[in-house]
Structure 1
């Protein structure tokens, strides 16, 4: 339903915004639809990476209590929108740098299908190198002041983390008549190496739920929840 809701969202925003985002290779938002087992209801989550994207996308939705899904020819009722978290790039980086202790790992929960593209082909497993590449690209594109750019940083990040536990299964995602293969589930990652490197890993982990990871994050893929671990992995 992620691609269906994205189509409905583009019909709600003004035509100029819809045309603008349609031509962007990397869009300043992510959105997804998934089933929340604890709340026993479907959740539509939208993460915006700029103030402008929030104004263009979220504010028009706040005025609505229904949404017409053209692809399904039906109307759905929207409950009042809840703001889960709002934080700037500067605040996110400051929290990571100034934390009393560097994190020693993270847990990643993939809320729906996640997939990556490498050398023109889809990669269905959540490789940390591809995850970090995805997040750094979005961070450096949409952050006005704090940039994370350093030669060899990707190599450092990926060579100083390790997979310690996981439960993953293959899944498919349909978008625009195409089927994309990916995976769903969770994994736990341990950090090691020098202090600042672990803080950068923690910062990108905290950023992931806003940006999503992998391909088609604006069309409904790549939604994640993350938890930064402070105790032994």
Structure 2
């Protein structure tokens, strides 16, 4: 198991407090206390974390979403949470205890190739992708927080994560994010500004829903679908291990795109990676 997404139902504490996305960094701290000391040190030294997690409040309970992006994270994080001896989360300095209910391993993939095949073997890939930013999403660009969705930033963020953790399937095309952004656009959105609390600061971000339309040949549509689908595991933007960037993706089927300018997607495979190149013709 190389990629996995686990959902754990959490009940409120004795005072009726329900976990919410604002507690993401506290859940991260609790999680780091459970992994091995060596792995905790490795994570602390890593700029890009091999897991994401966020808390989603639903009525009188909450869902804790945890995703692992490589085999070590699956073994260190996902597997222990599935064991019977894990029954509650204790946030010590707040004196809150949340009991764990149902544990559901929603997705698991043996490899990144298996995940890629899920999209490339689709006969008609989705040309409209709806995304719900469940917890606040933000990007850093030019030293500033970016609180409006940019497709170029979204694709680049996901490509970087994919290439960091995919061992045999990588995306090596130069300026790939820009190419994908040229062939898709945000067709609708309902977003609002949110601030994510982290220690003594509040990070400006956005949350809500948006739709992305893709005007491209099927192979490129499949690639965009794959990257956006991957965001449900990797998270989107910054601080995804601390509870930001929790994303839910909905794909809609559409007919084939017809355009005068067509593209041919050539996938060159080797033992270690898939190199993706584009060539255009009239």
User: By the TM > 0.5 criterion, same fold?
Assistant: yes
- Which TM class, normalised by the smaller chain length? over 0.9
Which of 12, 27, 46 is the equivalent residue of 2:66? Answer: 46
Aligned twin of 1:166: 189
CA contact (8 A) 2:124 2:254 kept: no
TM-fit CA distance, 1:73: 2.6
Which of 97, 107, 119 is the equivalent residue of 1:85? Answer: 107
> 2-side partners of 1:207 and 1:6: how far apart?
21
Matches within 5 A, 1:1-233: 1-36=23-58, 40-62=60-82, 63-87=85-109, 88-231=111-254
| Larger strand proportion of the pair | 2
> 2-side partners of 1:197 and 1:32: how far apart?
30
Deviation digits for residues 68-122 of structure 1, max 9, x if unmatched?
A: 2134232221113210111231112112222111321200001111101101111
> 2-side partners of 1:82 and 1:193: how far apart?
36
CA contact (8 A) 2:113 2:169 kept: yes
Per chain length, whose mean CA-contact separation is higher, i.e. which structure has more relative contact order (CA < 8 Å, sep 6+)? 1
Moved over 4 A (4+): none
TM-fit CA distance, 1:212: 0.3
What runs of 5+ residues in structure 2 fail to find an aligned partner? 1-22, 256-282
State the number of aligned residues.
230
Q: TM-score, normalised by structure 2?
A: 0.78
Q: TM-score, normalised by structure 1?
A: 0.94
Q: What is the aligned-residue RMSD (CA, Å)?
A: 1.4
CA contact (8 A) 1:205 1:228 kept: no
Cα pair distance change 1:84/1:12, threshold 3 Å: same
> 1-side partners of 2:68 and 2:120: how far apart?
23
Deviation digits for residues 181-210 of structure 1, max 9, x if unmatched?
A: 001100001001222211110111211100
TM-fit CA distance, 1:66: 1.3
CA contact (8 A) 1:4 1:71 kept: no
Secondary structure of the residue aligned to 1:60 is helix
Secondary structure of the residue aligned to 1:151 is coil
User: After alignment, is 50-59 or 214-223 more displaced?
Assistant: 50-59
What runs of 5+ residues in structure 1 fail to find an aligned partner? none
Deviation digits for residues 9-61 of structure 1, max 9, x if unmatched?
A: 11122222211111110010000011135xx5211100100111011112222
Secondary structure of the residue aligned to 2:66 is strand
> 1-side partners of 2:93 and 2:214: how far apart?
44
